[in-house]
């Protein structure tokens, strides 16, 4: 297996599947299933404000209500910035168990510019 030494910007997916904080759990869950995105960034004006997983959304629909807005169940954002090296991103994925990480332009502006999946990091 070949080791990648570049940065996340070189291998990230620029086609972002994301939801807004106001999106309902039901709508977000449907999008996660259709797009096969196990984890989605929660964006407000293209800025990363949280993350939400398909598993979390399904649990919310069963336990609470399908109309619950994502902002009530989203997690604090876990992300990498565009200049992060592959090894650092891999370490975050391993330590958190997340299947995908949002990529931001910079930690200051938190503008989401892509995502990177755990499969691209191995």
**SS3 state of residue 35:** helix
Share of the chain above pLDDT 90, in %: 80
Gap between the Cα atoms of 89 and 41, Å rounded? 16
Taking the C-alpha atoms of residue 89 and residue 85, their distance in angstroms, rounded to an integer, is 7
> Does the pTM exceed 0.75?
yes
Chain mean position to CA 35: 13
Instruction: Write the pLDDT tens digit of every residue in 58-88.
Output: 999 998 889 999 999 999 999 999 999 999 9
Q: What is the DSSP string of 26-47?
A: HHHHHHHHHHT-SEEEEEETTE
Inter-axis angle of helices 25-35 and 54-63, to 10 degrees? 140
| pLDDT beyond 50 at 2 | no
Tell me the CB-side half-sphere exposure of residue 19, using CA atoms within 13 A.
28
Average pLDDT over residues 3-21: 86
Give domain limits for the chain. Answer: 8-121
On whether the 8-121 domain is CATH 3.30.160.20, my answer is: no
User: What is the token pair recorded at 74?
Assistant: 């989203």
Q: Give me 85's structure tokens.
A: 């090296």
């Amino acid at each position: 297996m070949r080791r990648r030494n570049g940065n996340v910007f070189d291998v990230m997916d620029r086609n972002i599947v994301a939801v807004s904080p106001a999106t309902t759990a039901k709508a977000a869950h449907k999008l996660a299933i259709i797009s096969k995105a196990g984890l989605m960034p929660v964006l407000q004006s293209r800025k990363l404000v949280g993350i939400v997983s398909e598993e979390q959304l399904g649990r919310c629909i069963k336990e609470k209500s399908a109309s619950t807005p994502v902002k009530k169940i989203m997690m604090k954002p876990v992300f990498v910035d565009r200049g992060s090296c592959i090894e650092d991103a891999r370490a975050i994925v391993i330590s958190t168990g997340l299947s995908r990480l949002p990529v931001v332009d910079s930690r200051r502006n938190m503008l989401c510019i892509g995502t990177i999946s755990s499969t691209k990091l191995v």
